[in-house]
Structure 1
Amino acid sequence: MIVIAQNETDENRPPKCFRALEQLAKNKAVVKMKKTTAENLDLDYAVLMPGAVADELMRQLEDGVEYYEGALTKVKVFGRWHEIPRQQVAYGDEGMKYAFSGTSLPAKPWTPLLNDVRNLLYEVTGFRYNFVLINRYRNGKDHIGEHRDDEKELDKNTPIASVSLGQKRAFVVKHGDARKKGPARRDIQTVKLELEHGSLLLMNPPTNEYWYHSVPPRKLENGVRINLTFRKINKK
């Protein structure tokens, strides 16, 4: 049974999406994960929800999520500030924040809808997340470059849970040694997954210590994509 926070009532929830997410949580046993492994790589992938539920969830997010503006839309790369090629915002428990590339993202309070998705992930994975970063890819040009989610405040024993909605995009992972130059470079095969509408990807430990991941541009695939990456951040 889904746990509902005390300050949430049926009156302030999106009823249709809430009921669908609750039913999915009750039917958690039907989620069949496909595992992908390599050297220090451990990924689980499944289509988490039917198309109609994913459609409604995306519609609710498009109507209700307000993305950061101003300084919180920039990251520092090699000492220079750049506008990120997508929209982003974070939600989470009180006092949560996430720092990367010179930017610290303060978490907005959980909305009832995002809390329902978090509860669904708890029923499916057994992990309780306290933070979610939402990235909105406006078109095929929007992307995220190669990086590792290895910030020190992340709980290294908890997988990062990535829920994808909208336009299908490629998720590419490359071992750190395959990115090196010269004799240190190792010939380790790149792994690519297609993240479908309504899917769940778990990046299990120790993946983020060794592998870089990215969502490259796909200029011919111009639909909107929303990605929710749920994380557990250790409180100081």
Structure 2
Amino acid sequence: MEKFVVRGPNKRSCTNDALIRSPRKKVKLEEDERLKEEEDEEDEDEALAEFSNPVPWQKIEAEGLDCDYAQLFSKEEADKLFKQLEEEVVYSTGEEAKVQVFGKVYNIPRKQATYGDAGLTYTYSGVRRSACPWTPTLKSIRDAVTKTTAQTFNFVLVNRYKDGQDHMGEHRDDEKELDPLCPIASVSLGAARDFIFRHRDARGKQSRRQIEPVRLELAHGSLLLMNPPTNTFWYHSLPVRKKVLLPRINLTFRRIILDRKK
């Protein structure tokens, strides 16, 4: 299911030898062709420059699942960002630190915070959360994601897992206020953790189909893009991993549609 997307050089048509009438004309045509190729390559390099970091992208695909994965930050950069987030992010407490599942209220098995543009709110698992103003580090990471993906984001959900006991159950990020055409960009910092996708038709004992789950290991400094229609057909989770002893911070950047918040 996994493959690398490799950008190769453009294929170019050869010059028609029947049109070459003399050595002089042949040299001129070859020179024109060479200049044209150089110009095309320059244009292509400029077009790809915005997306040149990170490379290569790894494509993860299955029925209705479309994701891209890459290393966004080096270890040194990721270490620095993790430390800065530990100093800047203020996590939710009280009712905002709870979720509602099948009518029952539970404490969230991790720390959580929401940041974004002024006035934005996000309803998740029965709890409505307001966006705190962007911190300098969150804004810097958001801008790096935007530069890499050419997608803009106005909201981020921050989850901090103290160790492998902290986890996230199966769910889909399909809330109505999210732009359905925009991918969700997930940046991972800290301990590498397993991330599991499960098709909606293959969940539970009464599942209708046999579709294998897709497992990824999200590394320190990595970026996962969950493109449409992934969140329509696939649930995802971060299961308990008792052997993981170190903390992890995950940032899921989203685009909230303002008109739907009125």
TM bucket (normalised to shorter chain) is: 0.7 to 0.9
Within the alignment, does 1:158 sit opposite 2:182 as a pair?
yes
Number of residues paired by the alignment? 210
Give the match's secondary structure for 1:218. coil
Aligned equivalent of 2:69: 45
Within the alignment, does 1:210 sit opposite 2:233 as a pair?
yes
Q: 2:220 aligns with which of 193, 197, 212?
A: 197
CA distance, structure 1, for counterparts of residue 205 and residue 190 of structure 2: 36
Q: 2:172 aligns with which of 144, 148, 151?
A: 148
Q: How far is the alpha carbon of 1:123 from its aligned partner?
A: 0.7
Aligned equivalent of 2:250: 227
Percentage of identical aligned residues: 53
Map 1:172-187 onto structure 2 (within 5 A). 172-182=196-206, 185-187=208-210
Map 1:14-163 onto structure 2 (within 5 A). 28-31=51-54, 32-163=56-187
Q: How far is the alpha carbon of 1:28 from its aligned partner?
A: 4.5
Q: How far is the alpha carbon of 1:139 from its aligned partner?
A: 1.0
CA distance, structure 2, for counterparts of residue 80 and residue 63 of structure 1: 33
Give the match's secondary structure for 2:189. strand
TM-score of the aligned structures, taking structure 2 as reference length: 0.78
CA distance, structure 1, for counterparts of residue 162 and residue 233 of structure 2: 29
Cα deviations by residue, 1:152-184 (Å, 9 ceiling, x for unpaired): 1100100000000000000000000001544x5
CA distance, structure 1, for counterparts of residue 215 and residue 108 of structure 2: 23
Give the match's secondary structure for 1:135. strand
| Further displaced range: 161-170 or 113-122 | 113-122
The answer on whether the counterparts of 2:51 and 2:149 sit within 8 Å (CA) in structure 1 is: no
Letter of the aligned partner of 1:138 in structure 2? K
Q: Which has the higher contact order (CA 8 A, sep 6+)?
A: 1
The answer on whether the counterparts of 2:53 and 2:72 sit within 8 Å (CA) in structure 1 is: no
Q: How far is the alpha carbon of 1:30 from its aligned partner?
A: 3.5
Aligned equivalent of 2:9: none
Which segments of structure 1 move beyond 2 Å, counting only runs of 4 or more? none
5+ residue gaps, structure 1, are: 1-25
Letter of the aligned partner of 2:246 in structure 1? G
5+ residue gaps, structure 2, are: 1-48
Question: Computing the radius of gyration over CA atoms, which structure comes out larger, 1 or 2?
Answer: 2
Give the match's secondary structure for 1:113. helix
Q: How far is the alpha carbon of 1:116 from its aligned partner?
A: 1.1
Give the match's secondary structure for 1:188. coil
Cα deviations by residue, 1:115-137 (Å, 9 ceiling, x for unpaired): 11111111100011000000000
CA distance, structure 1, for counterparts of residue 212 and residue 80 of structure 2: 37
CA distance, structure 2, for counterparts of residue 87 and residue 162 of structure 1: 16
Give the match's secondary structure for 1:30. coil
Letter of the aligned partner of 2:208 in structure 1? R
The CA RMSD over aligned residues, in Å, is: 1.2
CA distance, structure 1, for counterparts of residue 50 and residue 103 of structure 2: 48
Q: 2:211 aligns with which of 188, 191, 197?
A: 188
